[in-house]
Structure 1
Amino acid sequence: MRHLPARVRRMLMLLLFVGLQLYAGWHAQLYIGELTGASGLAYGLTFWSAYLVLAFGYLLARLLRRRLPAFAALGLKWAGSYWIAAFQYSVLLLPFADLAAWPLRASGVSNAGAILYTGSAVTLLLLGILLLGSRNAWSPVVKEYAVTVPKPGGALKELRIAAASDLHLGTTVGRRHLERLVRRINGLRPDVALLVGDVLDDDVEPFVRRDDGSRLAQIRTPYGTYAVLGNHEYYGGGIDTYIETMSGYGIPVLLDETVTIAGSVHLIGRKDKTDRERASVAELTATLDDGKPRILMDHQPAAIREIADAGIDVSFHGHTHRGQMAPNHWITRRIFELDWGYKAFGALHAFVSCGFGTWGPPIRIGSRSEILCVTVRFDSQA
């Protein structure tokens, strides 16, 4: 399929998506009809009208967010968000339900009974998945690591770093989850905090309106909090407003820039891969002191080999969400050499977070909302 023209690939993907939506919708129509006794043309029209709004609710909410009343756009987005998860797992479960219906009918169960039994089983499984996924999304964990860099850290023997990526603050991920982030990071007592891209989700408006910057400013560290842009800051627009807002609260957004922590450790913030004008890692490190430790933030883990070749000691990334909902991690694992966790690439210690927030449905299966806490020890004798 990769050899086909891009337009043809997009068309085939669209046809597949529509086909799968019809497949899930047809099963839902049969089940609800048997459950309620509804039938006929009026039921069919009512069902498919509601189903199409639900199926495309997330997209419609994004496209029409400036035209719909706020409550309508929010409701449509929430419903559409959850449907993304329900749809994915429906497509995975329904073939098994179809297979299970055959022995039920062979054992004497009526067609209506087979639909009710298998439909109820799928519905209960979906509810369980959504409940578990919600718990995983809203209950963050801390992943702790310790690595050694064979360079002197000046007055610093070690640097304790709290890193969070992919907050996706917007109309789905809001104040409560942000407060969890601040509370958990402060509880770790880090020396510095890093926000590794996609702090925003839709656009900057909810971030400014809710004054989320003031909450991020409540993160307390001796050496401050730093951020970089992710792809969603570019998609949503309002980058200048976002950077100005963050700067106003004392949180620099590093745009191919370097700051030096405690006069001893270089912290490099790279523009996202979305930005075609971003500098290479070699350009960013050309004027830096080779003898000082180098820590880099780059939202997408697409250039880890380049980062290692440029002599970076520790790098932080996000973006992948580890697929967010299993088995999507099979895809991210094929796209990225490191899609989650820690791996050494020569002298480079690379970390990829599966993220603190969520994109689309506030559901995580096979992953948990997480914060990285990395202790970097400096030892010139190592």
Structure 2
Amino acid sequence: MNRRFIVSLIGILLFYGGLSLYLGWNGWVYLSALYDWNHAGIYSVIVALLALAFIIGRVGQSTLLKPIAGPLKLVGSYWFAILEYGVLLFPVADIVALLLKLGGAERDAYVLGTGSIALFVLLILLIVGTRNAWSPVIRHYKVQIPKQAGGRQKLRIAMASDIHLGTTIGNGHLHRLIHKVKQINPDIILLPGDILDDDIEPFIRHKMADTLGKLDAPLGVFAVTGNHEYIGGKVPEFVAAMDAIGIRVLMDETALIADSFYIIGRKDKASAGFRAGNAGRLPISELVSPLDNSLPLIMLDHQPSDLSNAAMNGIDLSLSGHTHRGQMAPNHLVTKRLFELDWGYLKKGSLHAIVSSGFGFWGPPVRIGSRSEVLQIDVEFVPA
């Protein structure tokens, strides 16, 4: 590790610790007024465990802590949501409480009153956000591609990105995916990355491949890697596991489907990272150069960061995920600045670009301002 990385890591941990301390202090003031509770030591340990639960659970997945790693990671994930919305709500509550105090209000009014309102809003956000995360919807798009596709006039795609299978999301949520895909009744199923959350071990241990393998469509199931597959560092094992259940992972590869259209699958940008051996990925131009571009070109690229190149190289339909649409508002304000298209549909020249908010989630099983979704994309081929 270089010095710059260590300094950055220490800075992040101090910042995170400071925010956790601020939330913990607010909780202590409220509980002390509510119950006249004086066990500061016990309370401090509880807050510290909540703040560290995700890290302990993530590291403990491959250690003796494996039996409790999942629950710890889930608790720690919810703490992240509490932290984000606490940082937004508590300063407002603190300012109102201070104004009430200066105005001569009783302590119960300015501590318990403002604290209870903030706690109520926080609980509503967590409840609604949990429902949004675990109750996926089908979102429908229609596009026209001005090309012939053999004898095919129409194509129905079911797309699910960012499933994030691991210690939190497992077979239960996978069954919801299978149910939604059956409702769509697609010709082909496309999975543009982040099928795994990080470590492949929970995926194998809980036999999630057996459930994922129930995805079925006449023209097959195709996938690409996302950044999270590279975080786990087990991409070859992941590709082999997918191949064993009939899901083809395209690693900078193309597939001609029924002599009608091409599926182009890009490695994720993270393939150039240290855990991927710095192999990198091929440019779009190199992937499409040997293809018959009179046929429709459909590309899976996990991150929607290369839309201009996709348009310039004749891609007709680009499918991505990655952004989660920020997952928890107001994070969508960040993703909107980072990506030309962070969610939904964009027409760029002859390119139709679609970005999903994802079927799963990262970290907290909470979605505010976004929704877990499966996409139904109806493509009509209309020769120019």
For normalisation by structure 2, the TM-score amounts to 0.94
CA contact (8 A) 2:198 2:230 kept: no
Pairwise CA distance, 1:130:
0.6
Give aligned-pair identity as a percent.
46
Query: Once the two structures are superposed, what CA deviation does each residue of 1:139-168 show, in whole Å capped at 9, x if it has no partner?
Result: 111111111111101111011111110000
Aligned to 1:289, the other structure's residue is in SS state coil
Aligned to 2:248, the other structure's residue is in SS state coil
Structure 2 partner of 1:268: 264
Pairwise CA distance, 1:178:
0.6
Separation of aligned partners in 1, 2:61 and 2:5? 29
Say whether residues 1:188 and 2:184 are aligned partners. yes
Pairwise CA distance, 1:56:
1.9
Residue range with higher mean Cα deviation, 219-228 or 208-217 = 208-217
Letter in 1 for 2:15: L
Structure 2 partner of 1:212: 208
CA contact (8 A) 1:155 1:262 kept: no
Pairwise CA distance, 1:14:
4.1
CA contact (8 A) 2:60 2:66 kept: no
Say whether residues 1:289 and 2:285 are aligned partners. no
Aligned to 1:344, the other structure's residue is in SS state strand
Pairwise CA distance, 1:108:
4.0
Alpha carbons of structure 1 residues 87 and 68: separation in structure 2 relative to 1, 3 Å? farther
CA contact (8 A) 2:224 2:302 kept: yes
Aligned to 2:246, the other structure's residue is in SS state coil
CA contact (8 A) 2:158 2:181 kept: yes
Separation of aligned partners in 2, 1:44 and 1:145? 54
Structure 2 partner of 1:18: 17
Say whether residues 1:148 and 2:144 are aligned partners. yes
Unaligned runs of 5+ in 2: 273-279
Find the partner of 2:126 among 125, 130, 136.
Answer: 130
Structure 1 partner of 2:381: 378
CA contact (8 A) 1:61 1:76 kept: yes
CA contact (8 A) 1:57 1:79 kept: yes
Query: Once the two structures are superposed, what CA deviation does each residue of 1:275-311 show, in whole Å capped at 9, x if it has no partner?
Result: 1221000010010002111000000111111111111
Structure 2 partner of 1:78: 74
Residue range with higher mean Cα deviation, 216-225 or 251-260 = 216-225
Say whether residues 1:300 and 2:296 are aligned partners. no
Pairwise CA distance, 1:205:
1.4
Map 1:37-186 onto structure 2 (within 5 A). Answer: 37-39=36-38, 43-106=39-102, 108-186=104-182
Letter in 1 for 2:284: V
Letter in 2 for 1:365: I
Letter in 2 for 1:260: L
Structure 2 partner of 1:316: 319
Structure 2 partner of 1:238: 234
Query: Once the two structures are superposed, what CA deviation does each residue of 1:193-230 show, in whole Å capped at 9, x if it has no partner?
Result: 00110000131112122222222221221101111000
Separation of aligned partners in 2, 1:54 and 1:38? 19
CA contact (8 A) 2:30 2:115 kept: yes
Query: Once the two structures are superposed, what CA deviation does each residue of 1:50-97 show, in whole Å capped at 9, x if it has no partner?
Result: 111101211121123222433321221111111110110000001110
Query: Once the two structures are superposed, what CA deviation does each residue of 1:104-160 show, in whole Å capped at 9, x if it has no partner?
Result: 324543235421222211111111111000110011111111111111011110111
Residue range with higher mean Cα deviation, 318-327 or 112-121 = 112-121
Separation of aligned partners in 1, 2:5 and 2:74? 31
Pairwise CA distance, 1:37:
1.3
Residue range with higher mean Cα deviation, 211-220 or 296-305 = 211-220
Separation of aligned partners in 1, 2:189 and 2:202? 23
Residue range with higher mean Cα deviation, 12-21 or 341-350 = 12-21
Residue range with higher mean Cα deviation, 212-221 or 296-305 = 212-221
For normalisation by structure 1, the TM-score amounts to 0.94
Separation of aligned partners in 2, 1:70 and 1:124? 34
Separation of aligned partners in 2, 1:13 and 1:234? 22
Separation of aligned partners in 1, 2:173 and 2:71? 19
Letter in 2 for 1:183: H
Aligned to 1:252, the other structure's residue is in SS state strand
Pairwise CA distance, 1:9:
5.9
Structure 2 partner of 1:368: 371
Separation of aligned partners in 2, 1:103 and 1:14? 32
Alpha carbons of structure 1 residues 334 and 205: separation in structure 2 relative to 1, 3 Å? same
Structure 2 partner of 1:33: 32
Unaligned runs of 5+ in 1: none
Structure 1 partner of 2:334: 331
Letter in 2 for 1:326: A
CA contact (8 A) 1:301 1:317 kept: yes
Letter in 1 for 2:290: T
Map 1:237-256 onto structure 2 (within 5 A). Answer: 237-256=233-252
Letter in 1 for 2:322: H
CA contact (8 A) 1:168 1:357 kept: yes
Separation of aligned partners in 1, 2:68 and 2:33? 30
